[in-house]
Amino acid sequence: MDKILSQADWFERAQSVLPGGGFGNFDPTMFIRDGKGSRVWDENGKEYVDFLIGSGPMLLGHGHPEVLDAVAEQLPKGMTFFANNAAGVELAEEICRAVPCADQIRYVSSGGEADMYAIRLARAFTGRDKVVKFEGGYHGMSAEAQMSLAPSRMVNFPQAVPDSAGIPESVRAEMLIAPFNDPDYIRSLLAEHGDQVAAIIVEPLQRIIPPAPGFLQLLRDEADKYGIVLIFDEVVTGFRFSYGGAQELYGVTPDVATLGKVIGGGFPLAAIAGRADIMAHFDKAAVGADKWLMQLGTLSGNPVAAVAGLKTMEVLRRDGAYDQLRANGQRLMDMAGAALSAQGIAHQIVGDPTLFEIVFAEAQPRDYRDTFNADTARATKFNAVLMQEGIFKAPGKTYPSLALTEDDFDLTQRAYETAAAFLIQ
């Protein structure tokens, strides 16, 4: 009989073949064995309510039967072809119907890849090099994206701080860093550099921080003024905030958007979506060799991910789906707030009902530096107790899903109350 391995056993094995013993995504000592509906189980057999949901993709929960059926039907027909397939076209049509900025799309396999190509696309379209990014904004792992993502050293804007080794100094010179939610600063920055800027890339909800009223529209207006491509990174918010994403919810349409997570239904799939004249730079016949942006990927638009995404989006279109998702999130936000307030603990519930987090601070954060200066030690303790009490989540985000049950809410409420009480011991 084979020995049943514990999480510690698997971590010991992982350390010899994986740097740091992990995939680079999450606590490497945590190994998830199974997921079903709203729950996951680790290799020790412990059960959790899942508020990580794969870092966002599993909006319907794990193993949704209709998604499984769609995938099971596709698998015998083929898993990938490196050629067009009908499901990929159907999914592209649905994305273009749903997303305001999307005249056309181009598939890739990850959100970070989509962001990298979106920046390159803006440069191809404008013939300019500089990119405006907001401090604390996450846009994947490209050299540009790894500038001022999570700096521990605060410098004067618009200086960029690299967050990774291996990035050429020349990349820093092309990046202009701005504080999120600061209209006066972005106006002054573009007044000086606007004619050199190819793109403004922004998460409409920056990690968990909502845009101040009018801020996204200001970016739209300033981009128009200087001929800059406005990119909304909707890898997280797309098909989560609403069926048309954050751009639909906030009523501001970018030139280009990046999508991921939900559109693949749990499989690797992402996309760049945008105006037809900008997207034309992916078509050599349309723009010529000098302006053509070469892009390809072995698994881009693969049919398994496409059918999973199509079925996921079909479920999300059904009456009441987004009302339920938002109600689930609001209920969680209210529970967390009540538990912490009952103990007299200063906190802010930050974000949107579809994606939020607790920040231990006296005032609502407006930008990265506000969250950086919050009580992160208290947040670490709070999250550690939640994990002990059967809540599986990222250190800085809570993702509600449509799969949550009354038992999940009951367990979560008890966990919030236990964690809040622990903070005052």
The three-state secondary structure class of 360 is: coil
Both tokens of residue 33?
A: 């064995």
The rounded distance, in Å, linking the Cα atoms of 160 and 151 is 9
Q: What is the mean pLDDT of residues 381-392?
A: 98
DSSP single-letter state for residue 77 = G
Give the tens place of pLDDT for each residue, 15-44. Answer: 999 999 999 999 999 999 999 999 999 999
Beta carbons within 8 Å of 321's beta carbon, 6+ residues apart = 315, 402
* pLDDT classification of 307: cutoffs 50, 70, 90: very high
Strand ranges for 220-317 from DSSP E: 229-234, 256-259, 270-274
Beta carbons within 8 Å of 1's beta carbon, 6+ residues apart = none
Beta carbons within 8 Å of 344's beta carbon, 6+ residues apart = 424
> For 298-374, where are the alpha helices, taking DSSP H only?
303-316, 321-342, 368-372
Catalytic residues: 138, 233, 261
* pLDDT classification of 47: cutoffs 50, 70, 90: very high
User: What is the rounded average pLDDT for all residues in the chain?
Assistant: 97
SS (H, E, C) 145-172: CCECCCCCCCCCCCCCCECCCCCCHHHH
Give the tens place of pLDDT for each residue, 82-101. Answer: 999 999 999 999 999 999 99
Give strand pairing partners of 147.
Answer: 162
Statement: residue 336 has pLDDT above 90: yes
What is the pLDDT at residue 208? 97
Domains of the chain: 31-63+320-423 (3.90.1150.10), 66-316 (3.40.640.10)
* pLDDT classification of 425: cutoffs 50, 70, 90: confident
How many percent of the chain have pLDDT more than 70? 100
Q: What is the mean pLDDT of residues 164-173?
A: 94
What is the pLDDT at residue 240? 98
C-beta of residue 392 within 8 angstroms of C-beta of residue 318: no
Both tokens of residue 324?
A: 């339920």
By the 10 Å C-beta count (0-12 exposed, 13-18 middle, 19+ buried), 192 is classed as: exposed
How many percent of the chain have pLDDT more than 90? 99
Amino acid at 407: D
Give the tens place of pLDDT for each residue, 232-278. Answer: 999 999 999 999 999 999 999 999 999 999 999 999 999 999 999 99
Statement: residue 1 has pLDDT above 60: no
Strand ranges for 158-214 from DSSP E: 175-178, 197-202
